[in-house]
Amino acid sequence: MKSRYDPARHHRRSIRLRGWDYAGSGVYFVTVCTYRRRCLFGNVVDGEIRLNPVGRLVDGIWRHNLTKRADVSLDAVQVMPNHVHAVIVMAGADRVEMAATGQDGTIPPGSLGAVVGNLKTVCTRRVNKMRGTPGAPLWQRNYWERIVRDEEELARIRTYIVSNPGLWTEDRLHVSDRGERIVD
């Protein structure tokens, strides 16, 4: 039986900006990590990402699924060995302001959380089918997000995303071949 969110028992602290309308218009820099930061999507060779079949599948899902909605678009994406960076543009204007999570612990439909959750679900199902690992976790429970405030910040983030493979050995999400995190 699936347990419902109970704020008295589940003391989850939201990392979202209180009062921000995550279903309204906005530009977001999102990072989603694989479960236990396992390098499942390929590797970096000489500063270039070499996606394996799983990585190509994940890249295709992020690119394809975000073009299916009129109110959401993908500005930039970079699949790394154990995480995905993306800039997601939400065009949900004229929506009533709502918190990032509803009172009952649910994610409001049409919000950034719902979009990222859908991508994670679709990727997990397709990757598990491809690998023959039904029910295996693919992603960490949450994701990082930053609200992009202006064009200058957006330009810096785009540059970071494109250059991320070249910075892999310095990346705080980088892990060794044995699965140990190299940099904190």
- pTM attached to this predicted model: 0.77
Q: What average pLDDT does range 121-136 have in this prediction? A: 96
Q: Say what the alpha-carbon torsion angle 128, 131, 135, 137 is, to the nearest 10 degrees.
A: -80
Q: Which residues have C-beta within 8 Å of that of residue 160, sequence separation ≥ 6?
A: 85
What domains can you pick out in the chain, each with its CATH number?
26-170 (3.30.70.1290)
Distance CA 149, CA 141 (A): 26
Q: Which residues have C-beta within 8 Å of that of residue 128, sequence separation ≥ 6?
A: 134, 135, 136, 138
Cα dist from 80 to 7, 86, 143, 153, 160, whole Å: 35, 11, 15, 21, 13
Q: Is the pLDDT of residue 94 over 50?
A: no
pLDDT value for 75: 93
Render pLDDT for 156-170 as a digit per residue (tens, 0 to 9). Answer: 999 999 999 998 987
Asked if residues 110 and 93 have their Cβ atoms less than 8 Å apart, the reply is: no
Tokens 């060794």 identify what position?
176
Q: What average pLDDT does range 44-67 have in this prediction? A: 93
Distance CA 63, CA 1 (A): 34
Asked if residues 121 and 65 have their Cβ atoms less than 8 Å apart, the reply is: no
